[in-house]
Amino acid sequence: MKTTWIVQSNIPKSNSASLLRAACEQLEQPFYPVTVQPGQKNLPEISEVNPPLVFHGVTTLILRASEDAQVHKGVFYDPQNFTHDAYTKGFGHAYLNYDAQVMDWSSLLKIAADTSAAFFIKPPDDLKAFTGCVVCYEDIQRMHRQLLDTPHRLPERVVVGQRCEVDAEWRLFVVNGEVVTGSMYRPTAEAFLPQELLDFAAQCVASWTPADVFVLDVGRIDRQWRIIECNCFNWSRFYLSDVKRIVDRVSRYQEDHW
């Protein structure tokens, strides 16, 4: 059986669904669009779809699919592996924030109130309650108040690291231990992948991976490569990566392992 791609089609300002549809059409892979509302408690109706499956959308769809015993293998996500603590143990010093502290918000606010310095902060998991950023005390206060208005999105802890200048960042797609495609996404979008980057990523992936299919974000800092973070494949943006190659490799993986 060919892999069916179940793809959320109502994501604002995203071209992921159209890219996946085009790639599925070229490869003759079944494509099944669904609509999902924020916070939806159940999966959309997919009773006519046969496995193997791959889901792609925002966190609501992916979390509902990961909780379903019938289709959970269509999601490559273990919440214990997509965390700051797991990256520190798995990648060691290759992980940019391996020496960052993890603390609760009250501790962070207390420390920040006593200094004019800026901090780099990010969530300790991959659920993207907020985007990693450099902030001072007033920024932290504002972010915390905003997150309190949506308590289901408020992480109990926050990763607090040193501020550093990242020259550029790349997103790499890893399938079964191999980087299959990727692209630069900051400061500009560029499809070219330096060989040094690919060699660094291969070495890191050989030491540890959070899932058989995942996204690896890598940065260049002072001419050195460092892992920024990993991301769940099922809700990650493609930028200028080769989506057709992604669909082909992930589909074949599912057909061999479902």
Q: Write the DSSP string, the chain.
A: -PPEEEEE---TT--HHHHHHHHHHHHT--EEEE---TT-SSPPP-TT--SSEEEES-HHHHHHHHT-TTTGGG----TTTSBHHHHHHHHGGGBTTTT-EEEEHHHHHHHHHT----EEEE-SBSS-SS--EEE-HHHHHHHHHHHHTSGGG--SEEEEE------EEEEEEEETTEEEEEEEEESS-B----HHHHHHHHHHHHH--SSSEEEEEEEEETTEEEEEEEEEGGG---TTS-HHHHHHHHHHHHHHH-
Per-residue pLDDT of the chain (258 residues; tens, 9 = 90+): 999 999 999 999 999 999 999 999 999 999 999 999 988 899 998 988 999 999 999 999 999 999 999 999 999 999 999 999 999 999 999 999 999 999 999 999 998 888 888 889 998 898 878 888 888 888 889 888 888 877 666 788 899 988 888 999 999 999 999 999 999 999 999 999 999 999 999 999 999 999 999 999 999 999 999 999 999 999 999 999 999 999 999 999 999 999
The fourth-level CATH superfamily of domain 165-242 is: ATP-grasp fold, B domain (3.30.470.20)
Q: Is residue 232 within 8 Å of 76, Cβ to Cβ?
A: yes
CA atoms within 13 A on the CB side of 127: 16
